């Protein structure tokens, strides 16, 4: 039933580790996004994919690598995790990439780097 799902919901790991967060949408949308919400609740877009192709990469360190195996999935892989990576990561999707389209958000993945 869930439109946009993310796994895991919580992720606690050590500095220097590599981890992945998975995102799936069953809405048939063409466009998917990753956002980072910091401890002050500020939300910032990280990536946008349209039909498996990268559209936006907003000055994110190259330790972060999104992977879109198909239109319904956009996974986020993070190498060499740092303390500052601790945040809530939200996946979202929209029908098309054009401005004004409603984005549907997943429940978030809370990442804590120790």
Partner 1 sequence: AQSVTQLDSQVPVFEEAPVELRCNYSSSVSVYLFWYVQYPNQGLQLLLKYLSGSTLVESINGFEAEFNKSQTSFHLRKPSVHISDTAEYFCAVSDRRANNLFFGTGTRLTVIP
Interface positions with partner 1 (CB under 8 A): 4, 31, 33, 40-45, 48, 55-56, 58, 90, 92, 94, 96-108
In whole angstroms, what is the distance from residue 23 CA to residue 21 CA?
7
Smallest gap from residue 9 Cβ to partner 1 (A):
9
Smallest gap from residue 61 Cβ to partner 1 (A):
18
In whole angstroms, what is the distance from residue 49 CA to residue 69 CA?
11
Peptide bond into 89 cis (omega under 30): no
Nearer to partner 1, 34 or 81 (CB): 34
Nearer to partner 1, 18 or 53 (CB): 53
Smallest gap from residue 34 Cβ to partner 1 (A):
11
Placement of tokens 């239109």 in the chain? 71
Nearer to partner 1, 44 or 67 (CB): 44
Closest C-alpha among 76, 57, 56, 53 to residue 66: 76
């Amino acid at each position: 039933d869930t439109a946009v799902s993310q796994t895991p919901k919580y992720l606690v790991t050590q500095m220097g580790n590599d981890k992945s967060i998975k995102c799936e949408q069953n809405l048939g949308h063409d466009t998917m996004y990753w956002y980072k919400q910091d401890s002050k609740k500020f939300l910032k877009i990280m990536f946008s994919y349209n039909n498996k192709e990268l559209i936006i990469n907003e000055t994110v360190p190259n330790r972060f690598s999104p992977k879109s195996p198909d239109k319904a999935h956009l996974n986020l892989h993070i190498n060499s995790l740092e303390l500052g990576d601790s945040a809530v990561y939200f996946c979202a999707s929209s029908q098309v990439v054009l401005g004004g389209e409603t984005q549907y958000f997943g429940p978030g993945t809370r990442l804590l780097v120790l």
